[in-house]
């Protein structure tokens, strides 16, 4: 395959990966990692293998943090362990819901329901806890976005022989 076509394919995958950090229909950083790997091993790029390892570790961290951060910020906003567990369960269930942003709806519903199961009389606490989960989601998405953009920039700068 022509080196130019491989470079274009890599850039498309990296761009789609960036979009996927906030559009749940795309697998996000997984696409970016694929683009990075295709660029490294599909061309004669002199990109150091250290970049590959760093971005693989950051991608794994991002996947874990996207589940953990909402649960932790839920607790910071007064939520209980019930809300944190609900966040994780709701996110996993939401992935399989046939609705747009199902994982997000599932996460919020999980936090809210978990908190109401813990204390059915305190609706305000359940809402504050859900707000914390939303802020955590924003943090996790922001981290993933930064990692995706960094991968894109590393490849572009390497293509331009700047790094």
- What DSSP string runs through the chain? --HHHHHHHHHHHHHHHHHHTT-TTS-THHHHHHHHHHHHHHS-----HHHHHHHHHHHHHHHHHHHHHHHHHHHHTT--HHHHHHHHHHHHHHHTSSSTTHHHHHHHHHHHHHHHHH-TT-HHHHHHHHHHHHHHHHHHHHHHHHHHHHHHHHHHHHHTT--
Condensed to tens digits (0 to 9), the pLDDT of residues 96-126 reads 888 777 878 898 899 999 999 998 888 898 9
Take residue 136 and report the two structure tokens written for it. 């955590």
Determine the angle formed by the axes of helices 49-76 and 102-118, rounding to 10 degrees.
40
Instruction: Specify the pLDDT at position 99.
Output: 79
Under-50 pLDDT residues of the chain: none
CA atoms within 13 A on the CB side of 129: 31
| Predicted pLDDT of residue 151 | 97
């Amino acid at each position: 395959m022509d080196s130019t076509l491989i470079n274009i394919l890599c850039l498309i995958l990296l761009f789609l990966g960036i979009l996927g950090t906030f559009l749940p229909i795309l697998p996000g950083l997984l696409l970016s990692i694929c683009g990075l790997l295709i660029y490294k091993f599909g061309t004669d790029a002199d990109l150091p293998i250290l970049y590959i390892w760093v971005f693989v570790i950051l991608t794994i961290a991002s996947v874990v943090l996207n589940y953990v951060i909402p649960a932790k910020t839920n607790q910071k906003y007064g939520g209980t362990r019930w809300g944190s567990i609900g966040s994780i369960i709701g996110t996993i269930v939401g992935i399989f819901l046939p609705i747009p942003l199902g994982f997000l709806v599932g996460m919020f519903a999980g936090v809210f329901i978990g908190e109401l199961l813990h204390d059915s009389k305190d609706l305000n606490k359940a809402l504050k806890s859900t707000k914390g989960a939303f802020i955590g989601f924003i943090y996790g998405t922001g981290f993933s976005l930064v990692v995706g953009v960094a991968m894109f920039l590393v490849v572009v700068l390497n293509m331009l022989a700047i790094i």
